């Protein structure tokens, strides 16, 4: 590049930069917020919206990954219709809902009980608080593997000791993972073990944020602890409960590692939840379209459940206020 | 004295020269591949661990580096299929289970191999493809008359029993393939020694729902009659035929073995049953021939049971029918590989007569005539030569029907069968449910579209198809 070229180019670049700044910079109030948000929006589109749209596309076609030679035919809503007519889907949905309701219900009340207990200034409470959180810190896969070996037939810690006790009492061994009903409840038990600490953590934070004044007023009025709990603690704790229950419901609804590692959906189909059914459809039978339709249905169910929770809690909170 | 020294030095010198010389001279085309790296995707299984011991030798000889990615068996199909689908060529060659060949070959994921076999520049002169057992190589690697993969061991499933326990109980177990070993014999023998109070169960069965497609089939086949052979799952028009009295009887027999099992065993898989046997707490269990060494006969890791076992086939049914089970793993070059020639160079070397024979000392199974007859196999895995004739004449590569719908069919069998095991339904209901759900799977696969003419051929109805000389395939 010659000197003359440089002298001509530099001012024109400065002019160009100024032009860009005036078009996309802070002075342009309509565009500038979008410029700031652009990186986030691009990432959001790439990892959230695009896969969602692609799922819609796949679910409306006939894509089987192990048969790439088949033409991709548009089938409209056929995949959803096929799922709704599939008894396996309804079985898995029922199992998922029962699992979610049971697990979240127990975790909520246990977590609340622990949160109330740990509000008191007892000796060693700080140590116990850390101890209680350990199950939640473990990756779900590791937790599931630990429990699988705890329930290992004949040799696991639980089967050995609990089996020993029940044998001594004349009840025989407990088929923790072999009886359909017991296996299902075993999974609920492990989920409760792992996720009660989460409820405890969320509700502890909620309790800590409740002001002291209502309690002092209640004490002056001579209200009993039961009445204080139902009329002060619970209503003021509602926002924390709402968040904790929604997050846990969504998580429990999607539970996967625990079930696959411990029972793989068995015995029979006793613990086949929607996520197990989804994985089987998508990654074992490679029916991508049916799996995409199923995942979209699952997403809709979760959205509807969250919406219902929010409406119910909000209306109750408004009444309380 | 000097003569002795001279002889010793000469002998040492000659030995060094011999060691320095390659077993087979490399061609110019093979030499040109030095410096390349090939990527191999394989499941974590004993036969691949055996092959891995030879990687350094290959790398030294050819200058081609082999990088292997091992994936747990349960994730392997998913991982390999996704990799092949994406077509990135990340992996140059894959391990292929016999059940997936048709799917992979039909989808165009694999490279036809015969042009490489016939290419003298890339294949060692003494490779001798006709040394492979015809039914093994064609059953494992041929689709639509074209060779796509090379076997690295193929074998039947069977049963393993403790000979010392039988002896103590006052009986001697029969020889392999003896007509005396029937379903009734197996049940009676297990009952004789079954003693849970002394931590000895008669037979460690595998009733977990995910395993029925492998562990129940020996009984489904055993309960056939010579007339119904070939129609175990489907008839000539691909209509499902499983709802019949033979299926019901086979499920009932499978269920009768529950008598020997602990209460908490409905989910037992291969791992649980094998662990109980390895601990010395079971008289018998299921096996797959390729796992025998690692699971039962490795004196270092299986000290409690090694050397005390008798390895039999699965029992014959009431009409003397035995299961023609065929299991195999093979190696196939990816269509998208950028190093196909280097991948082939490794594959032809590792499946050569010399390496295959030597690999048997580490637990690899045979697929060549020469390997079956090798001293190494006889020394390290003496239970193999006994299945040579079976693998030549009796085995059926389509024992599990090789269609893309098999995964679903197998899952249906497992789920319905396991429901019988836990007492949710009876065997008749299970057979009826199996038929209905398998029919749905086949219907979805388009098997019942009127006038469809491109349905797969049912090669199992005439097994001579698989008996062609390996070099005759395309």
For B200-229, what is each residue's pLDDT tens digit? Answer: 999 999 999 888 888 999 999 999 999 999
Tell me which residue range forms the domain holding B120. 29-154+327-398
CATH number reported for the structural domain that contains residue B367 in this entry: 3.40.190.10
* Residues B192 and B128 placed together within one structural domain of the fold: no
Q: Which residue has the higher pLDDT, A312 or B285?
A: B285
Average pLDDT (B116-128) is 92
Contact B258, B204 (CB under 8 A): no
Q: Which of B77, B209, B264 sits opposite A153 (nearest CB)?
A: B264
CB contact under 8 A, B81 and A178: no
Residue with tokens 């030597």: B358
Which residue of B73, B205, B266 to mutate against A (max A Cβ within 10 Å)?
B266
Count Cα atoms within 13 angstroms, Cβ side, for A90. 6
* Residues B373 and B290 placed together within one structural domain of the fold: no
Amino acid B17: pLDDT: 46
Picking from B364, B382, B398, the residue at the C-terminal end of a domain is: B398
Amino acid B404: pLDDT: 83
Tokens coding A188: 């609920």
* Residues B136 and B67 placed together within one structural domain of the fold: yes
Q: B409: nearest CA in chain A?
A: A285
Which residue of A286, A288, A289 to mutate against B (max B Cβ within 10 Å)?
A286
* Residues B149 and B161 placed together within one structural domain of the fold: no
For residue B182, give the DSSP letter: B
The closest of B361, B353, B355, B367 to B381, measured between CA atoms, is B361
CB contact under 8 A, A286 and B265: no
Picking from B267, B282, B313, the residue at the C-terminal end of a domain is: B313
pLDDT at A60 over 90: yes
Which residue of A73, A153, A288 to mutate against B (max B Cβ within 10 Å)?
A153
How buried is residue B374: exposed, middle or buried, by Cβ count under 10 Å (0-12/13-18/19+)? buried
Terminal alpha carbon distance of chain A = 74
What confidence tens digit (pLDDT) does each residue in B356-412 have?
A: 999 999 889 999 999 999 999 999 999 999 999 999 999 999 999 988 888 889 999
What confidence tens digit (pLDDT) does each residue in B57-113 have?
A: 999 999 999 999 999 888 898 899 889 988 889 999 999 999 889 888 988 999 999
Q: Which band of pLDDT confidence, cut at 50, 70 and 90, is reported for residue B262?
A: confident
CB contact under 8 A, A69 and B408: no
Residue ranges of B 202-261 with Cβ closer than 8 A to chain A: 208-210
Task: Kindly report the nearest CA distance between residue A255 and chain B, in angstroms.
Answer: 19
* Residues B188 and B264 placed together within one structural domain of the fold: yes
Q: Which band of pLDDT confidence, cut at 50, 70 and 90, is reported for residue A6?
A: very low
Length of chain B as a residue count: 474
Picking from B398, B418, B449, the residue at the C-terminal end of a domain is: B398
Amino acid A321: pLDDT: 57
* Residues B245 and B124 placed together within one structural domain of the fold: no
Amino acid B18: pLDDT: 42
C-alpha dihedral over B358, B270, A95, B407, to 10 degrees?
50
Task: Kindly report the nearest CA distance between residue B349 and chain A, in angstroms.
Answer: 30
CB contact under 8 A, A266 and B82: no
What confidence tens digit (pLDDT) does each residue in B291-316 have?
A: 898 899 988 888 889 999 999 999 99
The overall longest dimension of chain B from CA atoms, in Å, is 90
* Residues B362 and B296 placed together within one structural domain of the fold: no
For residue B181, give the DSSP letter: -
CB contact burial A216-244 (16+ within 10 A = b; e otherwise): eebeeeebeeeebeeebbebbbeebbbbb
Three-state DSSP state, B368? strand
Residue B189 in domain: yes
Contact B473, B142 (CB under 8 A): yes
What lies within 8 Å, CB to CB, of B31 at 6+ separation is: B63
Q: Which band of pLDDT confidence, cut at 50, 70 and 90, is reported for residue A12?
A: low
For residue B396, give the DSSP letter: -
Residue B13 in domain: no
* Residues B301 and B340 placed together within one structural domain of the fold: no
* Residues B143 and B166 placed together within one structural domain of the fold: no
Residue B428 in domain: no
Q: Which band of pLDDT confidence, cut at 50, 70 and 90, is reported for residue A316?
A: low
| Number of domains within chain B | 2
Average pLDDT (B115-141) is 94
* Residues B282 and B338 placed together within one structural domain of the fold: no
Contact B231, B420 (CB under 8 A): no
pLDDT at A54 over 50: yes
What confidence tens digit (pLDDT) does each residue in A217-249 have?
A: 998 888 888 999 999 999 999 989 999 999 999
**B426 and A CB contact within 8 Å:** no
Task: Kindly report the nearest CA distance between residue B272 and chain A, in angstroms.
Answer: 8
pLDDT at A190 over 90: yes
What confidence tens digit (pLDDT) does each residue in A81-131 have?
A: 999 999 999 999 999 999 999 999 999 999 999 999 988 877 778 788 888
* Residues B171 and B276 placed together within one structural domain of the fold: yes
Interface of A with B (CB under 8 A): 64-69, 152-154, 159, 172-180, 183, 263-270, 280, 283-286
Q: Alpha helix (H) ranges present in B118-235? A: 134-141, 163-168, 183-193, 212-215, 217-222
Partners of residue B159 on adjacent β-strands:
B286, B312
CB contact under 8 A, A264 and B411: no
* Residues B206 and B238 placed together within one structural domain of the fold: yes
Residue B21 in domain: no
Of 3.20.20.105, 1.10.1750.10, 2.40.50.140, 1.10.3720.10, the CATH number of A85-320 is 1.10.3720.10
CB contact under 8 A, A268 and B272: no
């Amino acid at each position: 590049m010659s000197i003359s070229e440089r002298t001509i180019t530099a001012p024109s670049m400065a002019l160009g930069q100024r032009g860009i700044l005036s078009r996309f910079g802070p002075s342009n109030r309509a565009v500038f917020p979008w410029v700031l948000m652009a990186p986030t929006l691009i990432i959001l589109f790439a990892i959230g919206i695009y896969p969602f749209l692609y799922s819609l596309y796949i679910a409306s076609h006939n894509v089987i990954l192990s048969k790439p030679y088949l033409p991709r035919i548009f089938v409209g809503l056929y995949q959803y219709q096929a799922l709704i007519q599939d008894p396996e889907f309804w079985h898995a949905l029922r199992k998922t809902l029962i699992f979610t309701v049971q697990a979240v219900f127990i975790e909520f009340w246990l977590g609340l009980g622990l949160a109330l207990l740990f509000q008191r200034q007892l000796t060693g409470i700080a140590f116990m608080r850390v101890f209680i959180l350990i199950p939640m810190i473990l990756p779900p896969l590791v937790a599931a593997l630990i429990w699988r070996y705890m329930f290992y037939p004949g040799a696991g810690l639980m089967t050995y000791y609990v089996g020993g006790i029940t044998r001594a009492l004349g009840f025989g061994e407990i088929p923790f993972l072999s009886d359909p009903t017991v296996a299902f409840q075993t999974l609920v038990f492990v989920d409760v073990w792992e996720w009660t600490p989460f409820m405890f953590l969320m509700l502890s934070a909620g309790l800590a944020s409740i002001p002291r004044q209502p309690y002092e007023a209640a004490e002056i009025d001579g209200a009993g602890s039961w009445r204080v709990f139902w009329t002060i603690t619970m209503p003021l704790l509602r926002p924390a409960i709402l968040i904790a229950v929604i997050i846990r419901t969504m998580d429990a609804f999607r539970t996967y590692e625990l079930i696959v590692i411990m029972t793989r959906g068995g015995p029979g189909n006793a613990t086949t939840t929607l996520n197990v059914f989804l994985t089987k459809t998508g990654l074992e039978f490679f029916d991508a379209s049916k799996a995409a339709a199923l995942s979209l249905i699952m997403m809709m169910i979760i959205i509807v459940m969250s919406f219902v929770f929010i409406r119910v809690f909000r209306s109750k909170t408004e009444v309380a206020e | 004295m000097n003569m002795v020294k001279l002889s010793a030095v000469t002998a040492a010198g000659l030995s060094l020269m011999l060691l320095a010389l390659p077993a087979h001279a490399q061609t110019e085309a093979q030499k040109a591949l030095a410096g390349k790296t090939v990527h191999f995707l394989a499941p974590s299984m004993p036969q691949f661990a055996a092959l891995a011991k030879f990687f350094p030798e290959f790398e030294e000889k050819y200058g081609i580096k082999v990088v292997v990615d091992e994936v747990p068996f349960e994730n392997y199909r998913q991982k390999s299929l996704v990799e092949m689908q994406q077509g990135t060529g990340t992996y140059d060659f894959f391990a292929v289970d016999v059940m997936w060949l048709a799917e992979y070959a039909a989808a165009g994921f694999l490279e036809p191999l015969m042009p490489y076999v016939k290419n003298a520049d890339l294949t060692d002169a003494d490779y001798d493809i006709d040394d492979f057992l015809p039914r093994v190589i064609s059953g494992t690697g041929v689709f639509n008359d074209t060779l796509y993969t090379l076997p690295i061991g193929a074998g039947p499933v069977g049963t393993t029993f403790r000979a010392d326990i039988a002896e103590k109980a006052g009986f001697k177990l029969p020889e392999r393939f003896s007509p005396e070993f029937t379903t009734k014999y197996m049940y009676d023998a297990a009952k004789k020694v079954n003693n849970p109070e002394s931590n000895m169960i008669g037979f460690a069965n595998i009733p977990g729902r995910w395993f029925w497609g492998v562990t129940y089939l020996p009984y489904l086949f055993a309960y056939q009659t010579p007339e119904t052979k070939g129609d175990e799952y489907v008839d000539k028009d691909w209509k499902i035929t499983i709802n019949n009295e033979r299926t019901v009887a086979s499920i009932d027999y499978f269920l009768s073995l529950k008598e020997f099992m602990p209460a908490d065993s409905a989910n037992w898989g291969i791992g649980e049953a094998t662990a109980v046997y390895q601990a010395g707490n079971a008289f018998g269990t299921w096996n797959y021939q390729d796992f025998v060494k690692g699971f039962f006969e490795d004196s270092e890791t299986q000290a409690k049971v090694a050397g005390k076992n008798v390895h039999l086939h699965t029992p014959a049914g009431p009409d003397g029918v035995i299961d023609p089970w065929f299991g195999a793993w093979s190696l196939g070059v990816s269509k998208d590989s950028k190093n196909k020639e280097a991948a082939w160079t490794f594959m032809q070397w590792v499946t050569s007569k010399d390496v295959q024979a030597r690999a048997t000392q580490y637990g690899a199974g045979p697929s060549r005539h020469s390997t079956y007859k090798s001293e190494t196999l006889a020394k390290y895995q003496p239970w193999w030569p006994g299945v040579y004739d079976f693998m030549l004449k009796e085995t059926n590569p389509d024992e599990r029907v090789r269609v893309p719908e098999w995964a679903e069919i197998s899952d249906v069998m497992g789920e319905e069968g396991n429901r019988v095991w836990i007492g949710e339904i009876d065997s008749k209901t299970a057979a009826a449910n199996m038929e209905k759900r398998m029919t749905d799977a086949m219907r979805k696969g388009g098997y019942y579209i009127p006038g469809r003419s491109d349905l797969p051929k049912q090669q199992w109805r005439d097994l001579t198809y698989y008996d062609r000389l390996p070099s005759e395939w395309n």
